Structures are given as structure tokens and as C-alpha cells.
Amino acid sequence: MRALILFILLTFAAPATAGTRVSLLPFESGLSFTPESPRAIQADHPLFRRIELEETENMPGRIGSFLTPITKPSEFNEALRSTLASANMLAETSDTARARLRVVWRQFELPFRISISSKAMVAIYYELSRLDNGQVIFSREIVTHAEARGGDGSTRARGTGRAAILANIASVTLCLQKAAFGQDPSNCALQTVGSFSAPITVAIPVYR
């Protein structure tokens, strides 16, 4: 299955403040996604409150370095769970679940370098299967990239890493919504646009 590659370019007009933090929640991040955004599905959707989420497999205890922490399993799992709940896709109880989402952390890169820019990449595998017969109805590795320039190096690096993860969560949410109707595109990656913790602005060219 072809990987999905989203390149996010964060341009820092001036040094970011120490409090700058990119949310991992697409519905609450304050950022927009293009060409589409994940949304809250309605009761007639096949995945309406039907997904049971497993804990992420193979995710290290800490993503990032001691000086530049990006996230950890508990935060990532909660962000994905919260996003599915906000999209009306997370089952309210195990009795109402009809499908299980398996998540496998594949790779994260945030190379350290003395530079005015930072780059990050995250690859996560998602597999949705029916609970009644185990049939796999969605299987995809999503790879998202982010690049940022300017500002404080540590803050920039952390924001770059989190932006790549945010894009991944948003992308799989929308892709699952489409996959239920057999309409998931070969490239599910979304573009993130907007601004957060001014003066940081977000513009995204996509490389295929």
C-alpha cells in the first residue's frame, strides 16, 4: 500500500514564545485542513460510534529527546481516542463496537542539527477490522512530514514533530470515514493551514 506523504512547512516570522505548543487534536488545534477536514459523522454513517481502539503498538516510551520531548504513548493514544470520539466514531461501550482499530507506530525522525530549520517525519500503520469475523476493511501506512524555519530551535523542533503527528491523526480520521464507503483515496494526506501561537504561521506544499 502506497505511503501517504504530507509535507508541512511551518514558517516562523519571529522567535516563538516558550509556551508555544502544537495540539495533537485536529478538532481543537485551531488549525484547518485542506482539501478537506475530518468531521463529526452522522448516525447513518457505518462507523458511527462503532470503533474500538487498541493501544498503540511498538511506540517508544518517549518520542523526541530529553531536551526536546515531543509526545509519549499516553498522550498520543488519548489524542487519537479523543479525535475519534469527537468525530462520532469511537464506540461508547464494548457492546456497541463493531470494528477494531489497530495502530502500529513505525517510525519517527527529528534529526538534530545546528540550523535555522527543523524537519520531522512520522510513519504510523492503521488497520481496521470487523469484530465479528476479523475481516480487514482498512489497512494503510500514513507517513507525514513537517519542516519549520526560524524561531527558537528547541521550540521549533518540538512544534515540527507535533505538527507531523497532528497531520497523521487528522489524515487517518478522514480516511476511515471515506473507507467505510470504499471511497478512501490512494493518498489520504491532508494539508494543514492556519496559524497558532502567533507569530507562527503555517503553509503547506505537498510533495508526492
pLDDT score, position 54: 97
Higher-confidence residue of 148 and 86: namely 86
pLDDT score, position 29: 85
Cα–Cα distance list, 71 to 28, 34, 200, 207 (Å): 17, 25, 20, 25
pLDDT band at 204 (very low <50, low <70, confident <90, very high): very low
What's the predicted TM-score (pTM) here?
Answer: 0.85
Q: Kindly report, residue by residue over 14-58, the tens digit of the pLDDT.
A: 333 333 578 999 999 877 787 889 999 999 999 999 999 999 999
Q: Kindly report, residue by residue over 106-133, the tens digit of the pLDDT.
A: 999 998 777 777 888 999 999 999 999 9
- DSSP assignment of 37-85 equals ---PPPTTSTTTT-EEEPPPBS--S-EE-SSSEEE-HHHHHHHHHHHHH
**Which one, of 79, 87, 11, 22, lies nearest residue 51 by Cα?**
87
Distance separating alpha carbons of residues 40 and 54, to the nearest angstrom: 21
pLDDT score, position 205: 39
Q: Kindly report, residue by residue over 165-195, the tens digit of the pLDDT.
A: 999 999 999 999 999 998 888 888 777 765 5
